[in-house]
Amino acid sequence: MNNIRLRKFISSIFLILLISSPISLSYQQATLADTKEVNVANRYNSSDTYLPEALSWTLETSPNYYKVLGESGIVENLFPPKGQIVYGGLDSLGRTLTVRGTLTFNNVLGSYNIRKDFKRSKAETLSGWLGNKNGEVYVIKGLGDDSYQGYFWNKSHLIADSLGGDALRVNAITGTRTQNVGGRSGNGGMRYTEIKSQKWLEAHRDGYLYYEAMPIYQGNELVPRAVVVSVLSSDNTINEKVIVYNVANGYTIDYNQGTFSANQ
């Protein structure tokens, strides 16, 4: 009797293992697939990938300081739940890293008539930020009569306050005025994707939009050469990757120090 019971017990264990193994294998394959997808995305979205393009800016080819590179390449697994923004923090040099948000109309709604100021503290000082001297006005010439006159530097949001982004060091870079808004019209630079995204969210109040902003640094420089913004709407009508150049026509920038000088 004991031998019969033992054989039945062993048979039961074998049957359980046989049934469960495909499930286990399927789960492992799915996990490996997800990991592989994320790793491919990380390689594709690495800063080095876009550095050559970041260094290639000319006024003639990108007078509004941005260029559409193609489809977004968004990997949804990297993004937070709807309505949330995740800040990537700072690297060992204190430089702002990639920011991602799954934005909804509520993010925009909460920003109406609100303008948050950045705190003036050492802990919240952007990498490479030296500020603007009081009263200093600079002219950044565009094509034709499209010239800007005012401050050279901006604290440039990665996810705009108009999209629900916070006025925090982890959500901003030291950016030229033209990187922030483009030329005098104010609809270029980072504003290109910001305006487009806000209009879409206002028109699709039940939809959502993946929004990623990645600063592009060269070596150990403290000021980024560009920001790559990737946007994908839930209906796929917005699906693009845009590079925004952190430059200013007529000026040479020291990206290590955050200083600049007018070209002779």
Q: Do 121 and 141 belong to one domain?
A: yes
CATH number at residue 98: 3.40.570.10
Q: Do 112 and 19 belong to one domain?
A: no
pLDDT in tens, 149-199: 999 999 999 999 999 999 999 999 999 999 999 998 899 999 999 999 999
Rg of the chain over all Cα atoms, to the nearest angstrom:
24
Q: Do 40 and 54 belong to one domain?
A: no
Q: Do 182 and 249 belong to one domain?
A: yes
| Mean local confidence (pLDDT), 27-40 | 38
Q: Do 9 and 107 belong to one domain?
A: no
Q: Do 257 and 147 belong to one domain?
A: yes
Range of the domain at 66: 50-262
Q: Do 79 and 7 belong to one domain?
A: no
Q: State the total domains in the chain.
A: 2
Q: Do 143 and 33 belong to one domain?
A: no
| Mean local confidence (pLDDT), 41-65 | 85
For all residues of the chain together, what is the average pLDDT? 87
> What is the torsion angle, in degrees rounded to the nearest 10, for the CA atoms of residue 79, residue 84, residue 90 and residue 96?
90
Look at residue 47 in the predicted model and tell me its pLDDT: 78
Q: Do 107 and 223 belong to one domain?
A: yes
Look at residue 260 in the predicted model and tell me its pLDDT: 97
pLDDT in tens, 215-263: 999 999 999 999 999 999 999 999 999 999 999 999 999 999 999 999 9
| Mean local confidence (pLDDT), 63-80 | 98
Q: What distance in Å separates the CA atoms of residue 225 and residue 48, rounded to the nearest whole number?
A: 11
Q: What distance in Å separates the CA atoms of residue 57 and residue 145, rounded to the nearest whole number?
A: 20
Q: Do 194 and 135 belong to one domain?
A: yes
Q: Do 89 and 24 belong to one domain?
A: no
Look at residue 62 in the predicted model and tell me its pLDDT: 98
Look at residue 145 in the predicted model and tell me its pLDDT: 83
Q: Do 57 and 135 belong to one domain?
A: yes
* Predicted confidence (pLDDT) at residue 111 exceeds the cutoff of 60: yes
* Predicted confidence (pLDDT) at residue 42 exceeds the cutoff of 80: no
Spatial neighbors of 50 by CB under 8 A, at least 6 apart, are 216, 226, 228, 243
